[in-house]
């Protein structure tokens, strides 16, 4: 089972000085910053997933690429743009439309020709057909005597549109002689509707199918859908799960025919989650929040409004950084470090019901970064568990991707560092 890492232009600056919080003055992002596969001796994924919606941007969701980067991607192609020759394993690149970026629209904002040209120009290995997400789950609609009214016509129309676009995508892929492998998208609102979509895609001639719209499903519902799909799949059909990890069920996914999946969760939890910020095989830990007085928007607003003193904030911020340096050197105890961290938290977030004292004590007591063999933790040390600025947070996200991939290999009984 292969793990594809979704691209959002998450890179790290190797020149960043964590002691002085400064970058090299000669640093150029595209030339000098590193992708995750350039950080680790053993690449912790099998390929990239690149979304047209992320590259181009749509509506309120702006592009994660500059105009120059978009032009460079299309001019050079994805393999050279992402420097995949630097990876320790052969990486594949999959393209999709980023359907969640236009989910509120009546129809996708792209044409099939535009999508095909995007995939072709980027030199992807796989390209997912143009689709429209169905934001509904109604398993009771599968009952023999179920009313058709259970599923609104707008949702039924999305499924039919997705299948129609898949047929057009495959026909024009063949006539245009594109080199990438075409993947049809199955959308549905129940186990049987998903299975029906997969059957239709197989009849069209697809050998690879991506399963979309399943991210909101609870695991039991997800497994019911996968079982229904498994019951209708032909031998050799490749199935990709869009946006789903759920490590504890990987063996079940494999049994039901899933051959690949993608997810941003390991990366995003590093700085989006309130507690599960740092992965280990045994448990997840809460990162230690030391917001930058000048760099944290929420804290800066409080300073600007006069709600908190900038001088006091700087003093407490500096004290937290110093106590963590001393703690890691063995010169401060867990309780001493915790006292300083909590003083700062009570200052910048007074009255919060989400104080992190218990979680911080656990992180400090276990000091998981000291035991982690990954390249990020060995180089960064305790900075990896500091919730503070993009350079630390992204590196923690990279560590999570590495840790997740190790769990994937363990769950599937693969040799550590082998291809999944």
Query: Where are the chain's structural domains?
Result: 2-263, 273-404
Residue 178 has pLDDT above 50, yes or no: yes
352-374 residue pLDDT tens: 778 899 999 999 999 999 999 99
pLDDT tier, 212 (very low <50, low <70, confident <90, very high otherwise): very high
Residue range 2-263 forms a domain whose CATH class is alpha beta
> Among 304-313, 324-333, 391-400, which stretch is predicted with the lowest mean pLDDT?
304-313
**Residue 51 dihedral angles phi and psi, to the nearest 5°:** -100, 135
d(CA 24, CA 163): 50
Predicted pLDDT of residue 62: 76
Given a contact cutoff of 8 angstroms between Cβ atoms, the answer to whether 91 and 84 are in contact is: yes
**Residue 8 dihedral angles phi and psi, to the nearest 5°:** -135, 30
Predicted pLDDT of residue 119: 98
d(CA 326, CA 20): 16
82-138 residue pLDDT tens: 999 999 999 999 999 999 899 999 999 999 999 999 999 999 999 999 999 998 999
Active site residues: 96, 262
Half-sphere exposure of 388 (CA within 13 A, CB side): 21
280-318 residue pLDDT tens: 999 999 999 999 998 788 888 888 888 888 999 999 999
- pTM exceeding the 0.85 threshold for the entire prediction: yes
Largest CA distance in the chain: 71
d(CA 146, CA 46): 42
Helix axes 153-176, 191-204, angle to 10 degrees: 20
Q: Which conformational region is residue 186 in: left (phi greater than 0), alpha (psi within -120 to 50 degrees), or beta?
A: beta
Predicted pLDDT of residue 63: 87
**Residue 364 dihedral angles phi and psi, to the nearest 5°:** -70, -40
Polymer length in residues for the chain: 420
Residue 417 has pLDDT above 60, yes or no: no
Residue 61 has pLDDT above 80, yes or no: no
150-162 residue pLDDT tens: 999 999 999 999 9
d(CA 207, CA 209): 7
Environment class of 168 (CB within 10 Å of its CB; exposed 0-12, middle 13-18, buried 19+): middle
Predicted pLDDT of residue 420: 45
Q: Which conformational region is residue 280 in: left (phi greater than 0), alpha (psi within -120 to 50 degrees), or beta?
A: beta
- The full 3-state SS of the chain, as one line of letters, equals CEEEEECCCCCECCCCECCCCECCCCCCHHHHCECHHHHCCCCCCCEEEEEHHHHHCECCECCCCCHHHHHHHHHHCHHHHCCHHHCCCCCEEEEECCHHHHCCCCCCCCCHHHHHHHHHHHCCCEEECCCCCCCCCCHHHHCCCCCHHHCCHHHHHHHHHHHHHHHHHHHHHHHHCCCCEEEEEECCCCHHHHHHHHHHHHHHCCCEEEECCCCCCCHHHHHHHHHHHHCCCCCCCEEEECCCCCHHHHHHHHHCCEEEEECCHHHHHHHHCCCCCEECCCCEECCEECCCCCCCHHHHHHHHHCCCCHHHHHHHHHHHHHHHHHHHCCCCCHHHHHHHHHHHHHHHCCCCCCCCHHHHHHHHHHCHHHCCCCHHHHHHHHHHHEECHHHHHHHHHHHHHHHHHHHHHHHCCCCCCCCC
Predicted pLDDT of residue 416: 59
Predicted pLDDT of residue 145: 87
d(CA 273, CA 148): 39
Cα-Cα-Cα-Cα dihedral sign, residues 142, 144, 150, 154: positive
214-256 residue pLDDT tens: 999 999 999 999 999 999 999 999 999 999 988 788 889 999 9
């Amino acid at each position: 089972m292969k793990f594809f890492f979704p691209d959002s232009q998450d890179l790290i600056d190797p020149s960043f000085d964590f002691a002085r919080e400064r970058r090299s003055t000669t640093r150029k992002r595209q030339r000098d910053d590193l992708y995750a596969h350039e950080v680790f001796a053993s690449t912790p994924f099998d390929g990239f997933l690149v979304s047209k919606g992320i590259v181009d941007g749509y509506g309120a969701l702006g592009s994660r690429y500059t105009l120059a980067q978009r032009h460079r991607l299309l001019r050079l192609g994805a393999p050279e743009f992402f420097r995949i020759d630097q990876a320790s394993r052969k990486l594949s690149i999959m393209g999709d439309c980023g359907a969640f970026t236009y989910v509120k629209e009546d129809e996708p904002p792209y044409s099939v020709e535009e999508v095909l040209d995007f995939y072709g120009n980027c030199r992807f290995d796989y390209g997912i057909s143009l689709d429209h997400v169905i934001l509904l789950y109604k398993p009771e609609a599968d009952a023999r005597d179920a009313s058709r009214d259970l599923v609104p016509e707008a949702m039924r129309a999305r499924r039919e549109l997705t299948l129609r676009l898949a047929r057009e995508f495959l026909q024009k892929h063949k006539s245009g002689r594109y080199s990438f492998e075409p993947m049809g998208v199955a959308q549905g609102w129940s186990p049987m509707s998903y299975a029906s979509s997969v059957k239709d895609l197989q009849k069209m001639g697809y050998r690879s199918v991506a399963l979309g719209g399943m991210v909101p499903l609870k695991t039991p519902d997800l497994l019911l859908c996968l079982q229904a799909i498994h019951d209708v799949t032909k031998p050799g059909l490749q199935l990709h799960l869009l946006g789903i990890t759920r490590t504890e069920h990987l063996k079940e996914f494999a049994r039901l025919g899933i051959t690949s999946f993608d997810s941003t969760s390991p990366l995003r939890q590093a700085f989006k989650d309130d507690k599960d910020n740092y992965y280990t095989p045994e448990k997840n830990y809460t990162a230690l929040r030391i917001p930058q007085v000048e760099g944290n928007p929420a804290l800066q607003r409080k300073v600007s409004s006069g709600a908190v003193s900038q001088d006091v904030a700087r003093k407490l911020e500096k004290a937290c950084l110093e106590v963590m340096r001393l703690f890691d050197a063995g010169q401060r105890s867990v309780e001493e470090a915790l006292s300083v961290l909590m003083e700062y938290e009570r200052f910048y977030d007074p009255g919060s019901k989400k104080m992190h004292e218990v979680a911080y004590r656990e992180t400090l007591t276990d000091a998981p970064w000291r035991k982690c063999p990954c390249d990020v933790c060995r180089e960064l040390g305790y900075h990896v568990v500091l919730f503070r600025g993009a350079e630390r947070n992204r590196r923690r996200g990279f560590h999570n991707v590495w840790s997740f991939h190790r769990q994937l290999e363990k769950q599937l009984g693969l040799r550590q560092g082998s291809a999944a």
